[in-house]
Structure 1
Amino acid sequence: MDEQELQWIQANVELAIEQLGPLADAGFGLNRESVEWVEGFIERQRARPGFDPERVDGLVGVLGSFLGACVAAGAGGRWHCSDEGGWGVLLPDGSTAFPFTKVRKQLRDGVEGGESIASFYRVAVDFIATGGLREPGQG
């Protein structure tokens, strides 16, 4: 693992909490409610005049770091860099969630296009990490 990249991710998480926390309801942090608030924030950004979903790399970095940290905290996961997908959160069941990809998709397509970071969080934390999506009879 590249320690410098992990430090960049952590700095982005801190920036998200510092900048978005005062705009959100009380209790903004690494939790489900904050992910839901950030989903709305993304939708508000998409509605702004002149928004260009192809010019959002900085926003993807900050919000993807925050989403990944929330998933890691909620599921007991940890950051992991894979050869095929880049940085993601390794979940207790061995699968990997890719928050940067999901944030970029929501910025591009929006909730109305089927992309939701809140749903991504719920599925990763409540189902995948717990083995809840396994076929009956699988161990």
Structure 2
Amino acid sequence: MEEQELSQIQANVRLAVDQLGPLSEVDFGLNRESVKWVEGFIERQRSQPDFDLERIGGLVGVLGSFLGACIVAATGGRWHRSDDDGWGVLLPDGSTAFPFAKVHKQFRDGVEEGESIAGFYRIAVDYLATGRIREARGDDAEGADR
């Protein structure tokens, strides 16, 4: 089952790159610039008059897969499935980032309410994966934004 789910995540990543890359005006791929563009894409979708949070499950799956793959590419982390929290990215410092949850939160609440996938990416890549956040806080944070 896990291999099948990982295959679906990879298919979602390819779909995101193939479909969103041509729409963007950036060097679209598994990088910070593309995450920032996808954040704007989510905000543009939220502003559509026919936007319905109840009908975006597939889009959350595709964009969450893409966000997670970007974090994996930047950190050397890996996809990990927990029984309690589902799929996340296990980071080199041992913490886990949950990109599907973050994408859903941005769709639900938006950047204006502090739900930014670009900020999530930055924290996961620049602080959690490197251990810098633990050094700064002096604790053992387990997970990143559920």
Task: Bin the TM-score by the shorter chain.
Answer: over 0.9
After TM superposition, give the deviation of residue 54 of structure 1 in Å: 2.0
* Structure 1 pair 138–98 and aligned structure 2 pair: CA distance change class (3 A): closer
1:66 equivalent in alignment to 2:66: yes
Structure 1 unpaired stretches of 5+ = none
User: 1:138 Cα deviation (Å)?
Assistant: 7.1
Question: Aligned residue for 2:49?
Answer: 49
The normalised TM-score by structure 1 is 0.95
Q: Deviations over 1:29-83 (max 9, x none)?
A: 0000000000000000000011011221000000000000001111110000011
Tell me what 2:102 maps to.
102
User: How many residues were matched structurally?
Assistant: 139
Secondary structure of the corresponding residue to residue 54 of structure 1: helix
8 A Cα contact 1:16 1:62, kept in partner: yes
| 8 Å Cα contact 1:39/1:118 also seen in 2 | yes
**What amino acid is the match of 1:21?**
G
- State the superposition RMSD in angstroms: 1.5
Structure 1 runs (4+) deviating above 3 angstroms are 135-139
Is residue 132 of structure 1 aligned with residue 136 of structure 2?
no
Q: How high is the TM-score relative to the length of structure 2?
A: 0.91
Listed as ranges, the gaps of 5+ residues in structure 2 are 141-146
Structure with more helix by fraction: 2
